[in-house]
Structures are given as C-alpha cells and as structure tokens.
Amino acid sequence: MSTPKPNRLVFEKSPYLLQHAHNPVNWYPWGPEAFSKAEREDKPVFLSIGYSTCHWCHVMEKESFEDAEVAELLNDAFVCIKVDREERPDLDSVYMKVCQQLTGSGGWPLHIIMTPQKKPFFAATYIPKESRFGQVGMKELIPKIKELWASRRNELLDSAAKIAEFLEETETRQSRASAEELGASTLDEAYFQLSGSFDEQNGGFGGAPKFPSAHNLTFLLRYWKRTSDRRALEMVEKTLKTMRLGGVYDQLGFGFHRYSTDAKWLVPHFEKMLYDQAMLAMAYTEAYQSTGDELFKQTAREIITYVLRDMTDPVGGFYSAEDADSEGEEGKFYLWTREEITQTLPAREADFANKIFSVEKDGNFADMVTRKRSGRNVLHLKKPPNQFAIDEHTSSADVQQRLEEARQRLFEARQRRVHPGIDDKILVDWNGLMIVALSKAAQVFGDVTYAGAARRAADFILDKMLERTQNRLYHRYRDGEAKVDGLLNDYAYVVWGLLELYETVFDERYLQHAVELTENMLKRFWDEQQGGFYLTADDADVALVRTKEIYDGALPSGNSVACLILIRLAHMTGEARYEQKAAQLMSSFSSVVSRAPSACTQLMSALDFAIGPSCEVVIVSGSDEGDTKRMLEALRSRFAPRKVVTQSSSLSRLQEKPYSYALPEGLTSSEGKATVYVCCNRVCNQPTTDPNKMLNLIDPKPQ
C-alpha cells in the first residue's frame, strides 16, 4: 500500500502536526489560507486540536485520520485544520470553552466544527470511527453535518452567533470587580475549600482522576507559614509523600506522570510533561525547606535528574513532553511482570524488588480496551523504605542500598526497551517554569549544577527566542526556528524565572531583562478598560474573542503569575506603578475569585505576598566571599516566601537604566564583612552581619 501524498502539515515544525503530515486527510495549519479556502468553497471548517503525547489523539489518528474512507468524507465536507494546543494555547483556550459550554466537559483530542468566520456550532472530544454505545461515529457524523450545512444552514449560523455572543458575555462578566476586595479572608476561604475537598486517605484533592496541582500545595505552604495552621502543612506532606510512593511517580527513571487515573495515585496516564516536573520540583523543594524531610529533598533532586538527563536540548532549553505510548501501546515502556523482574535480577534481589515495588502475579494494570489484567504492574511503594525495613526486621540503610541497586539494574534493563517519543519542541513558558524550579533548588540545595542549567536555559531564551528590537518573545522553538508570537504566559513565566535566577546568581542582566519584558507585557497585554491581562497581545490574530484567564488549570494562571511578579518587582525596584497594577488586577477579577478562591491558588500566593508582612533584603558583600556565601546559605535555609533579595553591587550598576531601583544611600559592608540590610513592611532595620539576627528580622516566628 502506497504512502499517502503529504499534506500541508509537512512544512510545519510541530511534532504533533508532523505526525499527521502523511494522513490522507487534507490538513491545513491554522492560518488565512485555510479560511480563505473555506469561504471560497462555501464549506465549514473541521478543527482538530491535540498534542503529540496525547494517547487518545494517537488512537483517533489511527482509527480515522489514517483511514481513506473517513479522510474522503472529511475532505469532501470540510476544510480541515490541525492545531497543536501546546503551540497555540490561545486557540485551545477559546475552543475548549466552547466545548465545555456545548457538551459540559472537555479534553483532548478536541474537535470543533465552525463557519469560515471561525464561529463554532459543534464540539466534541474523541469521536470513534463508527458509532458505538450511543456515541456517534465519524462515518455517521460527517454526512449529517454536510446535510445540515446544505439544508438547515440558518439554524447552524444562528447557533454559532449565539455561542460567540455567549463567549463575549462570559469574558466581560469575568473581569467585573466586586464590592468586596480580596484580602486575608479570601486566603482563609481558599484554605477551607481545599480542606473540604482533601482526600484524607490518599492525599490530593477530590477523587479520580487525580492531578498533581502543585500550585495548591505551594499555596498551602504559604498559608501554613502565615497562620501556623498545622493541617495546611499536613495536607501538603500527605499529598507529596503519597504521590512519591505511588505509580504516578516513575520509581525507576524519576519524574512524574501527568495524572493518576485512580484516587490512590497508583495507575497513571503515563505521559510526562515538563510543566509538571517544574511545578512539582518547586513544591518538593519548598516542602523540604519547610520541614527538613529528606524524602522531599530526594524527590526534588530526582525530578531534576530526570529533566537534565532526558528532557534537555543541547542548545540549553528543555523539551516539552515524553509520550505515554511506545510501540503503539500506552505505558508499555514502564510496566513490569514478575517474570521480567526475575529474569533481570538475581533471585534474592528479584524477591526483594517484587516485594518492595508491590509487584503482583496477576498485575495491577488493566488493558485499556479489554479491562483485563495481564500480569503487568505499575511499580510503586506501599510504604516508605524505612517502614519497610521495620516490617522486615532489617536496617533502613540496608533497605535503601538494596532498593537503589535494584532500581539501577531495572532502569538499565528498561533503557534497552523501545522508548516513548519525545516532543522536542521548546516552549518559552514551560521553560520559564523550569528555570524557576532549578533556581529555587540551586538556592535551597546549594547545587551549582542547577544554577548553571537555569542560566543556560535563560540565556538560550534571551538569545534565540527574544526579538530584541521590539523586545518580543516567541512561544516555540524547534529545529532552529523560533515562531509563534508570545502569549501572556510566556512573558509572565519567563519573568518569574528571571527573577528567581537573579536571586540565585545576582547577575543584573536577568533583573534588567525581567523589567524590560514586564514593561512590554504591560504595554501589549494589559486591559486598559477593566484591568488584568489578556492571553493574547494587542496585535495578535484572535479567534472569536480576546480572552483573559484567572482560574488555574494544570498550569498556573498567567494573570496570577503576572500579579506575583509585579508585586515582587515593586519591592525589588521601588517602582510603585507595578504594585498599583497588581492591585488593579486583583480587583478586576475579584468577583469570580471571591466565589472560588481555591480554583485560583496561584493568585492566592500572590495575595499572600501582597498582604504581607513582606521584606526587602539587600546584601552587601564583604571582602571574604565565603562570608557572603554563609549569609546566603542561612537566608535560604528557611522557608520565607514573602521576601525579595537583591545584591547592592548589581543594583548599583542598574542605576543608569531607564527604570528606578530602590537602592538606599550609603549601603556599605561593616568591617569588611557581608552585611545585610532588611526592611519589612516599609520599615528598615539596622544592618547586621549576624545570620541569626537577619533570620529573626525576616522570620521572627520560625515554625
């Protein structure tokens, strides 16, 4: 059978679009050519949105988009467009809202049928090739839509107009301030809502499927720090420990899978996303800072090991994702039978591995289609190694050593399997999150390797993904090409990364770029009428409506991250305008946020900083570099999230720049020692060379 002639996706860089470049479907990328063709031929548009590591996207491609009969139906009835949701999250955001409005749910693959004017009238997620179990199939759906377009078009157009109008009204309502401003009571309500949905037995929130939602955990750490409420900390500890022991964590190669299909964190959806690694590395790092629990430190470092080993491009950036599938089967790379472990390890070690990794003879993983178990297992730990040692009447050190030896040998054996595919495009926003994670870990663990990786990623973005003349970010880089105009998340996440990196290495370039990108973000994304940031820039190609988002999803809201960086920059630079914009942003979303603050936990972290007490810390280095290092180690040893840290030498070099910097006069070191100036709640204290006095000024009530 001959290979189909390539369609227009063959000229794209996205791995997801390239996966469909030889489908018999006459796919177009999103752009004017496709919509002009639809207008000219008087056809509706069939829009298919997915991403390269999506299991059901693969299933639908094999069932329908590679099928000549279905392709012929699609090509006859529609102009067909493929979109990579990771390349165009702005399009995905709009049309996912349409799907949720029309069907009550959403997910990927996402399918929209719309007019040539981009107004949708039909939405669905996965569609089987043929109708089954009451779900209409492609072979029945396509002719039906074609017939409706020919005979009852006015009804479809009327429906499309109403959907577009509803989206406009929804966006307007979301940006409506309420009489009640956000404050400490909002933080309390967010905490109470999370506490009410907390899974006491398994950790996490709600039931199956269960997502990591690391921003919930980092907010709870801040709430615990503010209130000393032990339950807030216990929810974090329970969740992070259960996740680390569960199958949602790759026990051999490290890193977290995207989510758990069950409430116990046992059976994952196996794809691995860069943003999950970044957000969870942050959560485990901050949890270690808060508790001193070595398991949290170990997990954070293991996540980073995975990213630096498997997800890092030689150019310095980080890849987007690792597939769930290998050899056409979800999870095959990760699953083990007892026999496979017995064949890989010596008898005594195989018995140990089968026991500690909870390997069952019949398996704990059911086939996706038949729902039957076939002896394959998701490796997981039912109990921490130290508890396992107690139960087995042996030493914890012995268990840890044997566990690591078994893990290493099984990992090496697994490396010989066919690996899942890597989506090797580099996304600016997700890379910004990874820079944050690496910078935080470099500070807390004192690891210069992490700082170096964060630097390389930041320098890559600033060199290859920033258009210098207009200071504009591109969203995606692959195969030597930077493309797709940056969105709000790109600017907000990158600035967050640059601020954390500055506080790690005190290179003034990163602070200066952070300020310049923030200025461009305010210029091009800010809503001058109602406040807050649009997802797209003022000159972007917009589908239907220009949206603003405040609710967190798998990723924290761009508006929430933008709010946090504005507050931090106000404290670092003395530019009051940034704090005013942050206050306007919170006010503009106060109506929707006050109803469901637990859905906006990244904004709650920003609100926590805004309420205070917060501190500005300026370090003046002494003659002994080791003295400055010891002061920084003390500063970073304690979880104190409501602070900014600058170094006087870097700030002084920035005085010539076009933005003001809050550098008090006469900052000098005392007796040649590293000296710290601490101002809290706009009141400055006497400088000190004593690390303990510094900590007491920043965090007078250590937990």
pLDDT in tens, 365-415: 986 555 677 799 999 999 999 999 999 999 999 999 999 999 999 999 999
pLDDT at 171 over 90: no
pTM: 0.92
What does the radius of gyration of the chain's CA atoms come to, in whole angstroms? Answer: 26
- Proportion of the chain above pLDDT 90, given as a percent: 78
Sheet holding 27-29, edge to edge: 27-29, 79-84, 45-50, 110-114, 120-124
Nearest partner of 265 among 382, 410, 414, judged by Cα: 382
Closest C-alpha to 71, from 111, 20, 117 = 20
Is it the case that residue 277 has pLDDT exceeding 80?
yes
Instruction: Look at residue 265 and tell me if it is in a domain.
Output: no
Q: How confident is the model at residue 444, as a pLDDT?
A: 98
Of the three residues 174, 197, 219, the one that is the final residue of a domain is: 174
Task: Give the residue from 416, 435, 456 where a domain finishes.
Answer: 416
Q: Is the pLDDT of residue 1 over 50?
A: no
The yes-or-no verdict on residue 131 having pLDDT over 90 is no
Dihedral, CA of residue 580, residue 586, residue 588 and residue 591, to nearest 10: -150
Give the number of other Cβ atoms within 10 Å of residue 643's Cβ.
Answer: 19
Cα 428 from Cα 316, distance rounded (Å): 12
Task: Name the one residue in this structure whose structure tokens are 């031929």.
Answer: 41
Q: Give the pLDDT confidence of 204-243 residue by residue, as tens digits.
A: 999 999 999 999 999 999 999 999 999 999 999 999 999 9
| Domain termination site, one of 121, 152, 174 | 174
Mean pLDDT, all residues of the chain: 92
Q: What is the pLDDT of residues 45-66, one digit of tens each?
A: 999 999 988 888 888 999 999 9
Residue 462, in any domain of the structure: no
Rounded mean pLDDT, 185-196:
98
For residue 302, tell me if it sits in a domain.
no
Of the ranges 428-432, 614-618, 690-694, which is most confident?
428-432
**Does 581 map to a domain?**
no
Q: At what angle do helices 601-611 and 576-588 cross, to 10 degrees?
A: 140
**Position 566: which residue type?**
L
Q: Which residues of 65-87 are buried (b: 16+ CB within 10 A; e: fewer)?
A: bbbeebbebbbebbbbbbbbbbb
Residue indicated by tokens 């026999």: 339
Tokens 């003395």 sit on residue: 574
Residue 408 domain boundaries:
334-416
- Is the separation of the CB atoms in 646 and 621 below 8 Å? no
Instruction: Output the domain CATH number for residue 67.
Output: 3.40.30.10
Question: What are the tens digits of pLDDT across the range 327-341?
Answer: 989 999 999 999 999
Residue 600 placed within a domain: no
How many domains does one find in the chain? 3
Report the distance separating Cα 81 and Cα 120, nearest Å. Answer: 13
How many of the other CB atoms lie within 10 Å of CB of 1?
4
At residue 175, the pLDDT reads 64
355 within a domain of the structure (yes/no): yes
Asked whether residue 656 is domain-assigned, the answer is: yes
In a domain, 179, yes or no: no
pLDDT of residue 702: 45
Q: Which residues have a Cβ under 8 Å from the Cβ of 273 and sit 6 or more positions away? A: 53, 258, 320, 321, 430, 554
